[in-house]
Chain A
Amino acid sequence: MTPIESLLELFGNFTFRTMILSTGIIGAVSGLLGSLLYLRRQTMISDVIGHSAIGGVALGFITCTALLGIDGRSVLTLTISAAITTAVAVLLTNVITRFSRLGSDAAMAVTLAVFFGGGLVLLRWIGHSKLPNRAGIEKYVFGNAATLTGEDLTTIAIIGVLAVAVVVVLFKELMLSAFDPVLAATMGFSPRILQPILLVTVTTGIVIGIKAVGLILMIGFVMLPAAAARQWARRLHTMTLFSAVIGGLSGMVGSILAVHLGRVPTGPIIIVVLFAAFLVSLLASPQRSVLSTWLARRRHRLAGEVAA
C-alpha cells in the first residue's frame, strides 16, 4: 500500500478523521490567536491560560454532574467552564500586577498556584468521590484526541469559526491596539470594549484544545506557529494567516504521526512538529533568519576583499 492509500484509509476511519480534523482546527485557531499575543508580548499569559484551565475543568465537571446532572465531559461544557475560569485567572494576574509592586511574572506564578494547585486538589477529590462519569477526567491534563466524539468535533468547529470571525471583523482594531494602544484609544476604539472581547476570544480559542491536546502544552500551540510565521511575513495580516496555516497543518501532521507511532499522546507529537517548523523558519527563511544573516555577512566580507 502506498503512503497516500494508507492516508486515505486512515481518513476513511471515523475516529481518525475526527482526530485529524479536530487537531487541524485547534492548531489553526491557536495559531491565529497566537500571532496577536506574540506581537503584544503577552506570550507567557498563554501558559497561565493553559494551566489555569485545569481549575475550570474541575469546577465545570462538579457543576455539571453534581448540580445540573449532565455529563461534564463534553468539549462544550469543558470549554465554557474553562473559558470562564481562565478569563478570571487572566484578570487576577492583571489585578495583582496593578495593585502590588510585583512584576507580572510573580503575578502569573500566584495565579498558577491558585488555579492549577486548586484544580489539582479538586481533580483528586473528584477521583475519590462518587460522582458519575468521573473516570477519565484526569486525562484532560495531557489530552487524548482519540476520545473525541463527533459532537466534540462540531463544537470545536463552531467555536473555531466564531473565534476566526471575531478576529477577521475586528482585525484593524486589534492590530492597531497591539502596535499602538494609545492611538487606538484616541481614535475611539475603546480598550474597555476591545480588551474583554480579545480576552474572551483568546481564552475560548485556546481552551477548545483541552480534550484533544491537553492543558500543559497549550503555550506551544499558541507561540510556536506565531514565531515561525513571523520569519516568513512582513505584514501582520500575512503573519496571522501563515500562523494559522502552520498551526493547522502541524496539528494534522502531528496527529497522523501519533496514530502511526501508536501509544504516544497526540499533543506532544504536534508540539514536536510545530517546533520543527519553527526551527526551519528560524534557520532558513529567505528574508530574516540565521542563514540569511550569515550569507549577507559573508557577501559583505567578500565584497570588502574584492574592493581591497
Chain B
Amino acid sequence: MTLLAALALLSVVTAVTCSLPGVFLVVRRQSMLVEAMSHAVFPGIVIGALVSGSTRSPLMIVLATVLGLVIVVGADKARQSGLVTADASQGLIYPVLFAIGVALLSTQLSSVHISENAVLAGELNLLALPTERWIIGTTDLGPQAMWPLLLLLVIDALFITLTYRVLVVSAFDPNLARTMGLPTRTVNMALMVLVSLTVVVAFNTVGAILVVALMIVPPATGRLVTNRMGWLIFVSLAIASVTALLGLWVAYLGDLATAPMMAFTDGVVFLIVLLVTRLVASRRRALPA
C-alpha cells in the first residue's frame, strides 16, 4: 500500500467515523458539547498514557471516555442547582480538566510521548507511515490507527439502526418522545458515551481540538441542503469523505498539515454551500410564479 493510499484511507475513515454521531448533535443543537468533551477527555488521555505507556491502551480509552461524560453529568448537576446559567454549565468544567491535562503533560513530558503538536493537530501523517501498518502475513491491512475507528463506526451504525426511531423523535420533539414512552434517557446517555468514545479514539489522528470541526461541520453542511433525517445522514457522510480527500490532497500538494487542512476544508465547503443555497433561494423568490 502506498503512503498516499494509507493517508487517504485513514483520513476518510476518521472523517466518516466522526461525522456519524455528529449528525444527531447538530439536529439536537448540542454541537458545542463536542468542544467541551474533547477538552475534558485530555487529562484522561495523559494519565492513561502515563500509566499504560501508550496512547492506544484500553485503560486510557475507558478513563478518558469517563472524563468526557463528567461534562454531561456535571453540566446537568450545575444546571439543576440553578446557580449558574444554563449555557455556562459546560464551559465551567472543561477548562480546568484541560488545564490539568496540559500541566500533567508539561511535568511528565519525558515519560509520555504526546507532543503539543499532537494535542493540537493529531498525528495523521505519522500514523499512515509504513511502520504503523497492520500486516498479517504479507497482506497490508492499512494503518493500525484506522481499525479502532472502523470498529467504532460499526458500533455507531448498529446503535443508530437499533434506536433510530427514539433518536429521531427525541431530537425533534423531546416532549413527544417522553409522552410516547420511548426510553429517551437511556438512548441519550448511550449516544453521549459514543460521542465521548469517538472524541477519545480520534485523538491520535486529529488531536483534541479539531475533532469538533470534523464531527459537526459535515452534518451542518448537510443540514443546509436537506430536511430529511435519512438523507441527512447519507449526505453528511458523503460530504465528510469528499472534504477529507480534498483537504488531504491540498495538504499533500502544498506540504501542509493534514488534519487542520481537513477541518479548514470542511469550513470552507460549508460557507460555499451556504452562499449557493442562499443565492438559489433568493433567485427562486425573485422569479414570478
A224 touches B35 (CB 8 A): no
Q: Fill in one digit per residue for B263-289: 1 if any A CB lies within 8 Å of its CB, else 0.
A: 110111011001000100000000000
Give chain B residues whose Cβ lies under 8 Å from the Cβ of A274: 96
- How many A residues have CB within 8 A of the partner chain? 63
B106 touches A110 (CB 8 A): no
Give chain B residues whose Cβ lies under 8 Å from the Cβ of A267: 99, 102
Give chain A residues whose Cβ lies under 8 Å from the Cβ of B86: 41
A120 touches B85 (CB 8 A): no
For window 50-108 of A, CB contacts with B under 8 Å fall at: 51, 96, 99-103, 105-108
B83 touches A288 (CB 8 A): yes
A105's partner among B30, B95, B99, B106 (CB-CB below 8 A) is: B30
Report how far A83 CA is from B100 CA in the complex, Å.
27
B274 touches A96 (CB 8 A): yes
Rounded to whole Å, the gap between the CB of B67 and the closest CB of chain A is 15
B220 at the A/B interface (Cβ < 8 Å)? yes
Give chain A residues whose Cβ lies under 8 Å from the Cβ of B216: 105-106, 109-110
A227 touches B84 (CB 8 A): yes
B121 at the A/B interface (Cβ < 8 Å)? yes
Give chain A residues whose Cβ lies under 8 Å from the Cβ of B209: 51, 116, 216
B261 touches A268 (CB 8 A): no
For window 80-125 of B, CB contacts with A under 8 Å fall at: 81, 83-88, 90-92, 95-96, 98-100, 102-103, 106-107, 116-117, 120-121
B260 touches A108 (CB 8 A): no
A167 at the A/B interface (Cβ < 8 Å)? no
Answer whether A227 and B223 are a contact pair too, CB < 8 Å, given A44-B32, A109-B216: no
Report how far A263 CA is from B81 CA in the complex, Å.
37
Report how far A112 CA is from B107 CA in the complex, Å.
29
Answer whether A227 and B263 are a contact pair too, CB < 8 Å, given A142-B102, A268-B100: no
CB contacts between A and B, total, < 8 Å = 199
Q: What residue in chain B is nearest A258 (Cβ atoms)?
A: B103
Rounded to whole Å, the gap between the CB of B29 and the closest CB of chain A is 4
A242 at the A/B interface (Cβ < 8 Å)? no
B264 touches A118 (CB 8 A): yes
Report how far A141 CA is from B24 CA in the complex, Å.
31
Q: What residue in chain A is nearest B227 (Cβ atoms)?
A: A101
B261's partner among A42, A117, A216 (CB-CB below 8 A) is: A117
A290 touches B96 (CB 8 A): no
B266's partner among A117, A220, A265, A271 (CB-CB below 8 A) is: A117
In this complex, the interface size class of chain B, counting residues with CB under 8 Å from chain A, is: 35 or more
Give chain B residues whose Cβ lies under 8 Å from the Cβ of A231: 83
A8 at the A/B interface (Cβ < 8 Å)? no
For window 182-231 of A, CB contacts with B under 8 Å fall at: 216-217, 219-220, 223-224, 227, 230-231
Among B87, B92, B223, the most chain A Cβ lie within 10 Å of the Cβ of B92
Tell me the dominant secondary structure on chain B's binding face: helix
For window 266-308 of A, CB contacts with B under 8 Å fall at: 267-269, 271-272, 274-275, 278, 282, 288-290, 293
Give chain B residues whose Cβ lies under 8 Å from the Cβ of A108: 31-32, 35
Report how far A231 CA is from B85 CA in the complex, Å.
12
A124's partner among B26, B257, B266 (CB-CB below 8 A) is: B257
A100 touches B268 (CB 8 A): no
Give chain A residues whose Cβ lies under 8 Å from the Cβ of B145: none
Q: Fill in one digit per residue for B219-259: 1 if any A CB lies within 8 Å of its CB, else 0.
A: 11001100000000000000000000000000100111100
Give chain B residues whose Cβ lies under 8 Å from the Cβ of A120: 120-121, 210, 257, 260, 263
A118's partner among B91, B212, B219, B267 (CB-CB below 8 A) is: B267
Report how far A263 CA is from B106 CA in the complex, Å.
7
Give chain A residues whose Cβ lies under 8 Å from the Cβ of B255: 128
Give chain B residues whose Cβ lies under 8 Å from the Cβ of A268: 98-100, 102-103, 106
Give chain A residues whose Cβ lies under 8 Å from the Cβ of B15: none
Rounded to whole Å, the gap between the CB of A123 and the closest CB of chain B is 8
Give chain A residues whose Cβ lies under 8 Å from the Cβ of B254: 125
Give chain A residues whose Cβ lies under 8 Å from the Cβ of B12: none
B271 touches A289 (CB 8 A): no
Q: Fill in one digit per residue for A111-153: 1 if any B CB lies within 8 Å of its CB, else 0.
A: 1111011111100110010000000001001100000000000
A116 touches B99 (CB 8 A): no
B34 at the A/B interface (Cβ < 8 Å)? yes
Answer whether A44 and B91 are a contact pair too, CB < 8 Å, given A120-B121, A128-B255: yes
Report how far A128 CA is from B278 CA in the complex, Å.
39
Give chain A residues whose Cβ lies under 8 Å from the Cβ of B87: 41-44
Q: What residue in chain A is nearest B213 (Cβ atoms)?
A: A113
Give chain A residues whose Cβ lies under 8 Å from the Cβ of B260: 116-121, 124
Q: What residue in chain B is nearest A46 (Cβ atoms)?
A: B91
B217 at the A/B interface (Cβ < 8 Å)? yes
Q: What residue in chain B is nearest A276 (Cβ atoms)?
A: B96
A271 touches B217 (CB 8 A): no
Of the A-B pairs whose beta carbons lie under 8 Å apart in the complex, a sample of 6, sorted by A's number, is: A42-B87, A44-B87, A109-B31, A113-B270, A121-B256, A223-B88
